[in-house]
Amino acid sequence: MNGAHDLGGTDGFTLPQREAEGPILKKEWERLVWGLVWSLRVPGISRGGRAAMEQSIPPALYLSLPYYARWLYRAEQSVLESGLVTVEELENPDGPLSVPDIPDFEPPGPEIIVDGFLASDFCAELDVDLPPQFSVGDAVIARNEHPVGHTRAPRYVRGRRGTIHLDHGVHEFQDQLPPGVERKAQHLYSVMFTGRELWGSRGGSKDRVYVDLWDDHLQAVA
């Protein structure tokens, strides 16, 4: 979707100062939110983090929220939409609570969340033998598509001509697909675009932007 999260090339923002190295989670609520979003792996509400999170926040709100407040908003939305928690319960957290309808549910502990997930040797490249549609060096065009669902093809590359720089192997396609369309694994590439191709005369003649795109995002140059 053409959401506010798709920021590449947007003008008008003021760059912050780079902060010194040190703790990233600075406030207690930020630590709680971060711990919560990764521990909240309850059947029915643990959805793909980025895809679900970015596109469900209204654009004006998205741009106004600090980073961890976006996670908080999304966590609230998830548990409310799934019916596990009600607005009344969040407004009166010490009051009476309904019992969630998940028989025999045990919340996952540290060994499942950290050792088994966050720190695991999880590899996105799939061990699947599929022929690539493109080879390194091929000229390609990023398809000019504007799907209503989540897509990993940023607006600024659509319709632009690039060159296959690396083949990352076979990955799960991450775009949201229309109902009934089967998700198929496919090759993922690093595609090089020149600054001039992306930004016209404003693009630097020695600037290159490399974007990770899947087979279905690309078409061959005729």
By CB under 8 A, tell whether 38 contacts another protein: yes
Find how far residue 11's CA is from the centre of its chain: 22
Q: Which of 5, 47, 158, 161 binds another protein (CB under 8 A)?
A: 5
Among positions 135-154, residues that touch another protein (CB under 8 A) are 152-154
C-beta pairs of 94-101 under 8 Å, 24+ apart in sequence: none
The separation between the first and the last C-alpha atoms of the chain, rounded to the nearest angstrom, is 27
Contact string (CB under 8 A) for another protein, positions 169-198, x = contact: --x--x-------------x-x-------x
- Give the residue, chosen from 48, 83, 109, 149, that forms a contact with another protein under the rule CB under 8 A: 109
Q: Quick check: 101 binds another protein (CB under 8 A)?
A: no
104 scored as a contact of another protein (CB under 8 A): no
Beta carbons within 10 angstroms of residue 78's beta carbon: 21
80 interacts with another protein by CB under 8 A: yes
C-alpha to C-alpha distance for 9 and 22, rounded to whole angstroms: 29
**Do the Cβ atoms of 102 and 43 come closer than 8 Å?**
yes
**Residue 32 engages another protein in binding (rule: CB under 8 A):** yes
Determine the Cα–Cα distance for residues 195 and 105; give it in Å rounded to an integer: 52
Residues 44-73 that bind another protein (CB under 8 A): 50, 54, 58, 60-61, 63-69, 72-73
CB under 8 Å to 17, separation ≥6 — which residues?
none
Is the Cβ–Cβ distance between 153 and 182 less than 8 Å? no
How many residues in the shown chain lie near another protein by CB under 8 A?
103
Q: Minimum distance between the CB of residue 180 and another protein, rounded to whole angstroms? A: 24
**Cα–Cα–Cα angle for 49, 50, 53, nearest 5°?**
80
Residue in 75, 143, 158, 197 binding another protein, rule: CB under 8 A: 75
Q: Is 114 an interacting residue with respect to another protein (CB under 8 A)?
A: yes
**Nearest CB to another protein, comparing residues 90 and 130:** 90
